[in-house]
Amino acid sequence: MAIRTIREIGDPVLNKISKEVTEVTPRIQDLIDDMFETMYETNGVGLAAPQVGILKRIVVIDTTGEDPIVLINPRIVETDGEQTGNEGCLSVPGKSGIVTRPNYVKVIAQDENLETFEIEGTELLARAFCHEIDHLDGHLYVEKVEGDLVDVTPMDDDDEEWED
């Protein structure tokens, strides 16, 4: 496994539509493993393949640090409710903004064996589904920000919450 370089806003790969995965090769499995390692190393809760420069429809998410989710060729099939909250992105370092997303999201995707499954999420998981799947279609959360982006101060290991 390896930590991959995260592409940042302004990199053209982040604005392109990713291609469907038709086969999980050893190279794709290595990519998935590297995406998890990269996400955990950078304290993210989700990462899409375009963020590491690969235009494949692959997303990894772990909102709890204990429940890793791999979504291959995901698509949102149902949403409900609304939540508005602060959102950031590993590809937009040092910034955050207020974004409104559905509070409930149902996704159909494939696993690492290309078996189709359905997964549902609310609150942070629903937000992560939407945010990461947007990346696969060439969109960044900054397109949805209500108001201005704000600077954020990274947490120290001793801090319990973000500093103002």
Q: Which tokens sit at 95?
A: 């910034």
Residue 133 and residue 37: Cα distance in Å, rounded? Answer: 19
Residue 148 and residue 96: Cα distance in Å, rounded? Answer: 9
Active site residue 132: yes
Residue found by looking up tokens 């038709």 in the block: 22
Residue 53 and residue 99: Cα distance in Å, rounded? Answer: 25
- Smallest Cα–Cα separation from 143: which of 42, 28, 14? 14
Q: State the catalytic residue, choosing from 8, 20, 132, 160.
A: 132
Q: State how far Cα 54 lies from the chain centre.
A: 14
Active site residues: 132
